[in-house]
Amino acid sequence: MLVHICCSVDSHFFLESLKRDFPDKEFVGFFYDPNIHPYSEYKLRLLDVRRSCKILDIPLIEGEYDYEKWLKQVHGLEDEPEKGERCKVCFDNRLEVSVKKAVELGKDSFTTSLLVSPKKSQDRLLEIGNQLGKEYGIDFIFKDYRSSGGMQKQAKTVKSNNLYRQDYCGCMFALKKQREQQEREQIETYSSIGNEILPASIEEKFHNYSKMKTCFEESKENILNYRIHKGRVLHKKEVVPSYFLFYSFSERNRISGRIERIADEVAYLNRESVKIITIYFVRKFFDDKKLSLPNLQISVQKQIELRGVIDKNPYSLSPIIVLNEIPDGKVDIELEAKIFPSIVQNFSEN
């Protein structure tokens, strides 16, 4: 039996249940999900599905990530609600590719772990699966593992195996609507220009789950998170290379001022508590002569460490900007950033 897999949270419990109910069947997992965006999230879910299938001793095949083709298929349905027409088209696409793969591999049946997801319509999946099964001459296996306490059993399975619990379906359109309803920042679609791993980002989760073992225990904590949308510095009306340290924040998007004093190699602007340091200060602090602007590749933790030396107040959100040199005369700063609460995961070995 070929089992289309959407994510480890649904597939692990689904595959366990199938193995119990079909002890004589050989299973193969098929991860085909071009709807998942961004690509880093796709890679994260695939990573954990691989780990899950390894635990269950089930071979896994990765399908093509033909995201642009998927976008064309759902064009015009971007504003459809969850379980609406966009989802139907998405089901059609993924299940048709899955049934073709099943036929190619000589399997006599196929199914999908989407049947476990509470956000998916089982009736629609059954309808599409049966249609495709008749068309391609193989059986679509429908099993309702959600009812009769199934969701509670699934939750226990997820926790005991430390599976990655994503909090959105996968597609960018559903994500946008969900975050708007939650009044939460859509940090999944942010990328760091300096390639540092940002708190609560997909990259941080990938880093953690790539080290995951079954003996790891998860805990969570709330943090004050930060993302910068735009930051640049103009001196004498020319943009100069710059880098804004993590937690550099101002309610004003535009700041104009002059250096009023310099102390211990830190320049203090006469507006918005802005502080300016040079790249030479940063190189000396980290003992790294290779650091350069504009992509100052130092971790968030190191940036916070640097902030602590420049600004003694641990609660400070003052903009701290790295430039090649301390400017004379007027300085114009454009800064658009957000601070917001986030939940981060911690992992510790037993």
Spatial separation of the C-alpha atoms in residues 133 and 117, rounded to whole Å: 21
Query: Residue 217: its pLDDT value, please?
Result: 60
Query: Residue 317: its pLDDT value, please?
Result: 96
Query: Residue 77: its pLDDT value, please?
Result: 95
Strands 254-263, 266-269: parallel, antiparallel or unpaired by DSSP? antiparallel
Query: Residue 210: its pLDDT value, please?
Result: 87
**Going from the N-terminus, what domains does the chain have, and what CATH number goes with each?**
2-182 (3.40.50.620), 224-344 (no CATH)
Spatial separation of the C-alpha atoms in residues 167 and 94, rounded to whole Å: 21
How do the pLDDT tens digits run along the chain, 350 residues long?
A: 999 999 999 999 999 999 999 999 999 999 999 999 999 999 999 999 999 999 999 999 999 999 999 999 999 999 998 888 999 999 999 999 999 999 999 999 999 999 999 888 899 999 999 999 999 999 999 999 999 999 999 999 999 998 999 988 899 999 999 999 998 888 998 888 777 899 999 999 998 888 876 546 668 899 999 999 999 999 999 999 999 999 999 999 999 999 999 999 999 999 999 999 999 999 999 999 999 998 888 999 999 999 999 998 989 999 999 999 999 989 999 999 999 999 888 776 65
What is the sign of the dihedral through the CA atoms of 189, 192, 197 and 198? negative
Each as own residue / partner, the long-range contacts of residues 51-57 (CB below 8 Å, 24 or more positions apart, any chain) are 51/8, 51/209, 51/212, 52/8, 52/11, 52/12, 52/15, 52/161, 52/163, 53/5, 53/11, 53/15, 53/29, 55/12, 55/161, 55/214, 56/12, 56/15, 56/16, 56/19
Query: Residue 215: its pLDDT value, please?
Result: 46
